[in-house]
Amino acid sequence: MPQAEIRPDRVPRHVAVIMDGNGRWAQARGLERNAGHRAGLESVREVVRAAHDLGVAYLTLYAFSLENWNRPKEEVSELMRLLEHYLEEELAEAMENGVRVRSIGRLDRLPPSTRRAVQKAIERTRRNENMELLFALSYGGRSEIVDAARRLIREAELGVVDPDRLDEKTFAAYLYEPDVPDPDLLIRTGNEYRVSNFLLWQIAYAEIYTTAVMWPDFRREHLEAAIVDYQARERRFGQTSEQVTGAGAVGDDSSVGGEGEAVGR
């Protein structure tokens, strides 16, 4: 899909991606599953670059779920090695492009070498301001909500929070990265139609785009096609079409969810 078809004033502020299909891509070619993970690394590189070029402010990649710990030990080890390799190899480009690396999840479960690589990337890029790149690692949406509830209960017991005044905004402040806006666009590759325990709280009003393209084949043109599709949709946030049309400018954050269709970095 030509980039010229994308309206720069309606680029989704936050794009989240469920990167699916690595194993099936490899098996279809008679290769071992890890070959698909290695091939998928190039897709990560290209999509990060494309998102930056298009003006996406936040990009969240579902890199490793809590459920993925149940995979064969050899596959988990290779996924950790590939993550470390990516962070090391791409750090210079992240600095050049002003990309800030962040992560969400139960990071304490990561191997020590992986935690060090993640922390190094986070620390080195923390002052960058052009785009935020979040890796969901050892992550589960339900677990994030449980962890938030635990923190909130502790603070309620200390008198920091009044349970009777609890609302959605207050609860959201206890999520892993509460300053990150909710995703506008959720992309899932690999011809699947599940959200797979990903950002369950945050995707309440996300536009969902699925594609049969397996993640190792996903490239800039596929991201552009998803954004073009997103821009053709009417985001109502529970309102009627007439209300949205009469609301005025794109990006009006008075709608439910507060994100509207905000643009840029």
Q: Are strands 58-65 and 131-139 parallel, antiparallel or unpaired?
A: parallel
What pLDDT is stored for residue 254 in this prediction? 34
Identify whether the C-beta of residue 206 lies closer than 8 Å to the C-beta of residue 184: yes
Could you tell me the residue ranges of all domains in the chain?
12-142+181-234
Global pTM exceeds 0.85: yes
Reported as half-sphere exposure (CB side, CA atoms, 13 A), residue 131 has a value of: 27
The yes-or-no verdict on residue 76 having pLDDT over 70 is yes
175, 115 in Cβ contact below 8 A?
no
The active-site residue out of 68, 97, 128, 130 is 68
Annotation marks residue 97 as catalytic: no
pLDDT computed for residue 243 by the predictor? 66
**Residue 68 annotated as catalytic:** yes
- 9, 20, 162, 184: the active-site residue: 20
pLDDT of 247 reads 58
What does the pLDDT look like over 190-232, one tens digit per residue? 999 999 999 999 999 999 999 999 999 999 999 999 999 999 9
Class level of CATH domain 12-142+181-234: alpha beta
pLDDT tens for 230-245 read 999 987 667 777 766 6
